[in-house]
Structure formats: structure tokens, C-alpha cells
Amino acid sequence: MTDSPQQRHAALAEEIRRHDRAYYVEAQPTISDRDYDKLYRELLDLEAAQPQLRTADSPSQRVGGAPIDGFETVRHAMPMMSLDNTYSQEEVRDFVVRVQKLLPGEPLEWLVEPKADGVAISLRFEDGLFTLGTTRGDGIAGDDVTANLRTIRTIPLRLNALGQADAPGVLEVRGEVIMTRSGFAQLNRERADAGEPLFANPRNATAGSLKQLDSALVARRPLDIVLYGSGEIIGGPAIDSQSGLLDALGQLGFRTPQHTWCCSGVDDVLDAIAELDRVRPGFDYDTDGAVIKLNRFDLRERVGATAKAPRWAMAFKYAPEQTQTKLNAITVQVGRTGTLTPVAELEPAFLDGSTISRATLHNEDEIARKDIRVGDTVLIEKRGDVIPGVISVLRELRPAGAEPFDMQGATGGRCPECGGEIRKDEAFVAWRCINLQCPAQAAQRLEHFAARAALDIECLGDIVSDKLVERQLARGPMDLFGLTVEQLGPLNLGTDDEPRMFGEKNATKLVESVARARGMGLDRWLFALAIPEMGRTIAGSLGKFHDDLPAVAASPLLRNVIALDEKVAETVRINPRSRKNRPNSDADKAKREQQYKNLVAEIREMLGGLVSLGFAKISKENGSHPPNYTTEVGPSVARSVLDWFASGIGHATLERLAKLGIDPRGDRPGGGVFDGKTFVITGTLPTMSRDEAKAKIEATGGKTTGTVSKKTDYLLAGEKAGSKLAKAKALEIPILDEATFLELCGGE
Ligand code: IVH
């Protein structure tokens, strides 16, 4: 007899859960990816045919649901406490002695566990089903992030013990959501490709992911979880120790710390802490310490807790791993926008699981502040971050004659890539190569132009970009619009000895996506052009406030942001109440106060304009002083954007775009049927007053002027229209009566 769909679904779900556990929790897959996909597909098909099979604990329910507006706050059934921290072995000794004093005569057993560096959460299971997942919050109440946590494969949606007679009715387990190092590296690579900001470390990436309101997005983040504690438990077999808890959690299907040490005295504990420090670089997630816990639960109860933390546990934090090595040289790298970044070339040193031979030095000021010189022995550190940094210099080891670094001297005032002029803008700490034809920038500009968050051009990664520049097929992004499949197909991406052709298929994809890019919106274009300081968010916001690229180039909004900033700086300079600025006579004082007042009034007026357009917000009213405010984009970005459009490359780009017939459009909200159209109203309209008509025109995106000219798009004409009507007729401008006008406005 064949199974019913219900039976088949249950069997499939069970089998998939088993494979999930083997793959995700035990890291020992028992089936090939293909066979797994087959089972999963069959499960999805069954659920598509019979939606009632799609229960909350089905393995299909990990892909995330609809976005939500915000998280609900939920009170924890039992508080989630934190731990007392220390960096000192002495304090670990004191802690052990203190607990022993509270439990005289008891032989104590300690469990030492890795302290996972992630985000603390609590998971609640009722009758074996995952019902609630919360963040720690303030320890008393946290955010309900159940939908996000469901997407984590190592959280069982139903417990292995389900159906067993002694399964707990309620089980709260606690642990840490983490991101594996490899998952983190991959995520950042993808973000770099998409031109999105990188996460500094796996913990930030984890916290950022859990805060997402769209769980479908979270499902794509490589999150994982490690469980090490419990909250409320009702029913189930009694658990009387930490080691017993970890065993039970493992049996129920949870991932628990893979290494723990059971210790009987403080020396044992300190040995375990040292050993954990040796092995943790090999873990697939970041740890920042060891947690020392009294093993037996009955003894824990006897020592109790303070208001914040239990007395029976303590966290020992490892100092971030550092090592010494020699700084052999400082080289200079050229970034996408021409920024010159000094890089420390180090004598290779082993640190936190990998060999480090380079570290970022950020910029010239940073080098001066730390007084870092070539030949120095430096202390380098890696805090789980991807790029290691130079912390300090061991001055006593400095060789005689070591010279301070200066960018001008190191580069001879020339870009290391193109030999072009470099310049340090007063407003920036960074030096920049100002040759916009610099090949380092040219290739990187092409690659950036093609990034997913920019114009999403397929088959145009770093290698192809480099080759296009090298073979002089493209010097800038605009050249892409002239490329053909015939030119690109035979492009050799390899060497003369080992040729590797780009191929017709890839070339076609590239050319097709270049063609698609023509129709993309203003925000993507603004981002794609690699304008200094133009990130995704800023491009998005400028795209909302402008109609097209020339409008950004001449943006009154950006000019006002700059003017406003200058005026505010001026108020600081002339403020008569400032101690530096004391007026020297009463007459002078009165004059200066008046000047100050006038300036504040000007600022208010200008700010009022920006606020009414939604481009600025007042964050604090300051009485007779300028109010505190924020603008959609700041003055430094505004300057950078306007400077770029005013530069040779900016002009050339706008010209080329116009010639190519490319005109990216903004998505100004409120745009309507008459977006950008100019009206003249004349005569008496049958039902509407002039003001009403004007308001309607503006509400649908248009504007009105008083005189008919070639630039007029429509004449709205009523009774007794005179010379304007005649002129419009002469210029062949469309003439609308009120009824037609209202009809065109439709429901708007
Ligand atoms: S036990 C009442 N064990 O460290 C004690 N915490 O600094 C609850 N953490 O909030 C914590 N790994 O987020 C414990 N093996 C581990 C841990 C661990 C990481 C985190 C946890 C806690 C914080 C305290």
C-alpha cells in the first residue's frame, strides 16, 4: 500500500531533519547534495499541492517570511543574566577561592567553556516545537526575533525528543547566535561586489542580521548558533549539572560548544583557559574568552547571584591577539576613487590562525600619530576583524636613522600607479591621485560601475576590467557602451603562453547587460560613477530629490547645504559671546550682536527651505543660536559631488551620456502625470479657481508660469482667453480646457 501524502510528508520531513542535523550540527553529511535536494523538492511539491502540510516545524519554513514593521518586546520567563568579566588570572583565582568559601568542604567541579563572540539569545520550545526566540535585551525583556531565528539551520524547529514520554513541556535554551568565519568572509566578499559597506567583524554582522525586519533577507545570512545554558524548564528528565545540560542539549539536536574542560581546582581551570586559547584559532567562529562555571546546579543555587550576574560563573577574556614583527616597508595603494592608502609590509608573522604580512596603516595622520617608521618593530593585532592593524611601535627597538613617513616623500608626489599628481585635500586626511585616467582607477572604476548595486553588468569582474584597460578597449565606463561581441569574444584573459578566451557567450552577456544599464535609475548611476564619497545610501537619497544627472550637477539643495554649513561656521567665528571673540567696546558689541542675529536669521530661512523640502531636519532648537540640524547628505559629500560634476571628468561624462542618449531618471516621490511640465493658465475656468488649478498642476508634478514661450508645455485655457491663447496657438502649444485637464489628471 502506498503512503498517504500526509505520511509521505512526515517521513520526508523526518529524513530531512536528520540530514540537516548531520550536515549542520555534526558536520558529517550522510547524503549527497543532489539527493538532499531531491528530498527537499519532493517536500516542497507535496506542500504546494496540499498547503495544510506546510506546518511551522516543516523544514521548508526556514526561508523567511514577510517583512515586519518592528519587533515585539517580550519579557523573559527567567531573567537572562550577564557575567562578571576579568582579564586577570589572579581574579580567576580569587573567584574560585570565593566560591569555595561559600561552599566549605564541598569538592568543587568546574566546567570551562569557550566564550562565543556573538549575540545572546533565548529559544523557547513548547511541547517540542520552537515557539519563541528572543534577544537578551536588558536581561528582563528582549526582542521577539523568532522569524529570524527560524532561518538558522542549526536550530531544530522540533526537538528530537518529541513524542518521547518524558519530553519537557516547556524548554528554554540559551546561547549565542554567531556567524562562522568562512560565512562572514563570503558575506563580505558579496557585499564588496555589490558595493555595500563591509561588516567589521562576524559579531557586528550577526547583530546586524538579527535586527533585520525582513526574515527572507536573514535566511541568506550565514548565521549559526551555539547553546550553553537553559532558562525555564517544565517537565522532562531532571538535569543536575552543566555537563549534563550540554549532553542533553546535544541529544535534543542542538549545537553545543565542541570543546569543554571539566576541572577540579584553580590550577586545572587556568590550564584549561590556556589550552582553550591555544586551540580557539582553529574554531570556525570567533571566541573572546573562556567561561568558568560551577558544574553542579544544586551548588549554584547555594551561592546564588547578585542583581546582575551569578556568583557561580565568571568570564575570563583573552586580550586580543597581538604579536611583534618588523615593518619592512610602507607601500602605497591606490583605491577606486584615487585615495592613496599606506600599507605596512611586514616580516610575515603568525597571528590568530593565519600568517600576516600586510596591515593597513589607514592614512598619513594615523602613521604620524603612532609615529610608525620603516625599520620599526611594531605590535600588530587582529580582533577577529579581517584586516589586521598596527597598534604601536616598540620605540626601544627602533634602528638608528629611521625616518618619519611622509606621503610626499614616499611617493615623490606622484601616484604609484600612473605617475600622476597627488594632492591632499585640506578637508580630508587622505591623499588622492587626481589623474582620473589613472589605470588603477580606470580598472577599478569599470569594476565598480559593473557592481551589482551599481549597474549590475554581468561578466565584468576584476580580471575582465583589468584586461579591458590594458588592451585599451576601455579607459572609462562610458567606453563600455561602444563595445561589441566581436571585439570582446576573443579577448584573452590569460597570458600569451596560457591563453584563456573571454568567449562569445560571456561577451554577449556583457553587451546585453551594458544595454540594460542604459535604462537604470538615477540612484544607480550616481553610485556607479564612482564619485568620491558617493555611497549607496547617498546615491539613493540624491536620486529621490533630483530628476536627472544635470539636476544633481546644478543642485540647489547641495549648494544650500554647503552655504548653510559655511554660515554656521561663520556664526562660530563672529559669536560675540564667545570668549575668544570678546567685543572691545559697547558699540562694537551691539554691532556684532546685530550681525550675529542677522546671520542666525539667514540660517533659519535657508534651513526652513531645506526642511520644507524634506532635505533637512532640525534636531534641536537653540533659541537665539542656529538650531542643530541634519541634512540628507552632509556638506563634505555635497562639496565632493558638486566638485566632481564641475571637474573635467564630470563635464565629459555628462556630455558623453547626452551623446549616447542616456538620461537616468530620479524617482522623486510625488511625481505625477505632469511631472516636469510647465503650464500657463489663462481665462476663466468653468469650475476651478486659478489657485485650485495651480495646486492641482503642482500636485501632479508640474509647475505654472505667467508667460507663454517655447518652453511652455500646456496652456490651460478658460473663457475669455486673449493674447496668451493666440500666442500658444502660434507656437503650437497643446491647449487644454478644464474638462480635458481634469481627465488627464485622472484620480491624482
Ligand atoms: S553563560 C548567567 N556561557 O557572554 C550566565 N555565556 O559576558 C549566562 N557567552 O551574555 C551566560 N559564551 O552572551 C555563557 N559559554 C558561554 C558563553 C556565554 C558566550 C556570552 C553570553 C553572555 C555573555 C556574558
Among 517, 535, 553, the domain-final residue is: 517
Instruction: Give the nearest ligand 1 atom to 115 CA.
Output: 12
Q: Indicate the DSSP class of residue 22.
A: I
What pLDDT is recorded for position 362?
A: 83
173 lines ligand 1 (CB under 6 A): no
Among left, alpha and beta (phi > 0; psi -120 to 50; other), residue 629 is beta
Strands (E), 352-483: 354-360, 377-382, 389-393, 422-424, 431-433
pLDDT tier at 164, thresholds 50, 70, 90: low
Classify strands 129-135 and 223-234 as parallel, antiparallel or unpaired.
unpaired
Q: Is the pLDDT of residue 605 over 80?
A: yes
Whether 24 and 97 share a structural domain: no
What is the rounded CA–CA span in Å between residue 209 and residue 212? 5
Kindly report which listed range (28-37, 84-93, 252-261, 446-455) carries the lowest average pLDDT score: 28-37
Residue type, 551: A
Average pLDDT over residues 461-489: 90
21 lines ligand 1 (CB under 6 A): no
What is the rounded CA–CA span in Å between residue 615 and residue 188? 31
Residue 179, CA atoms < 13 Å, CB-side half-sphere: 27
Closest-CA residue, ligand 1 atom 10, reads 82
Whether 219 and 304 share a structural domain: yes
Contact present, 633 and 561 (Cβ < 8 Å): yes
Ligand 1 centre to CA of 19 (Å) is 29
Whether 238 and 107 share a structural domain: yes
pLDDT tier at 746, thresholds 50, 70, 90: low
CATH number of residue 43's parent domain: 1.10.287.610
Whether 445 and 297 share a structural domain: no
In a domain, 67, yes or no: no
Ligand 1 centre to CA of 228 (Å) is 8
Beta-bridge partners for 223: 179
310 lines ligand 1 (CB under 6 A): yes
Residue keyed to cell 549532553? 247
CA quadruple 442, 444, 447, 453: dihedral positive or negative? Answer: negative
Among 641, 669, 697, the domain-final residue is: 669
How does the average pLDDT of the chain come out, rounded? 88
Q: Can you give 573-618 as a three-state secondary structure string? A: HHCCCCHHHCCCCHHHHHHHHHHHHHHHHHHHHHHHHHHHCCCEEE
Give the DSSP H or E segment for 101.
helix 89-102
What is the rounded CA–CA span in Å between residue 479 and residue 501? 21
121 lines ligand 1 (CB under 6 A): no
Whether 412 and 471 share a structural domain: no
207 lines ligand 1 (CB under 6 A): no
Whether 178 and 284 share a structural domain: yes
What is the rounded CA–CA span in Å between residue 642 and residue 318? 48
In a domain, 662, yes or no: yes
Whether 374 and 416 share a structural domain: yes
CA–chain centroid gap for 188, Å, is 9
Ligand 1 centre to CA of 80 (Å) is 9
Q: Considering only CA atoms, which of 440, 245, 214 is closest in space to residue 333?
A: 440
User: Does 115 qualify as catalytic in the annotation?
Assistant: yes
Residue keyed to cell 508660469? 705
Whether 443 and 415 share a structural domain: no
What is the rounded CA–CA span in Å between residue 668 and residue 543? 7
Q: Is the pLDDT of residue 353 over 80?
A: no
What is the rounded CA–CA span in Å between residue 689 and residue 421? 62
Whether 559 and 683 share a structural domain: no
CATH number of residue 709's parent domain: 3.40.50.10190
Q: Which of 38, 101, 115, 544 is catalytic?
A: 115
What is the rounded CA–CA span in Å between residue 246 and residue 117? 19
Whether 726 and 600 share a structural domain: no
What percentage of the chain carries pLDDT values higher than 90?
52
Pull the grid cell for residue 587: 558699540
Instruction: Give the nearest ligand 1 atom to 305 CA.
Output: 2
What is the rounded CA–CA span in Å between residue 196 and residue 188? 9
pLDDT digits (tens, 9 = 90+) for 80-95: 998 998 989 999 999 9
In a domain, 491, yes or no: yes
In a domain, 52, yes or no: yes
Residue keyed to cell 594615523? 366
What pLDDT is recorded for position 549?
A: 96
What pLDDT is recorded for position 621?
A: 86
CATH number of residue 416's parent domain: 2.40.50.140
Whether 526 and 663 share a structural domain: yes
In a domain, 592, yes or no: yes
Testing ligand 1's pocket by substitution, the residue of 117, 122, 176 carrying the most ligand atoms inside 8 A of its CB is: 176
What is the rounded CA–CA span in Å between residue 436 and residue 337? 9
Residue 686 burial (10 A CB sphere; 0-12, 13-18, 19+)? exposed
What pLDDT is recorded for position 234?
A: 93
pLDDT digits (tens, 9 = 90+) for 539-550: 999 999 999 999
In a domain, 248, yes or no: yes
Sequence-distant (6+) residues with CB within 8 A of 348 are 325, 355, 356, 357
In a domain, 68, yes or no: no
Whether 650 and 527 share a structural domain: yes
In a domain, 483, yes or no: yes
The larger pLDDT score, comparing residue 170 to residue 189, is at 170
Range of the domain at 44: 5-62
How many residues would you count in the chain? 748
Among 399, 433, 467, the domain-final residue is: 433
Q: How many domains does the chain have?
A: 6
What pLDDT is recorded for position 347?
A: 95
Pull the grid cell for residue 155: 536550530
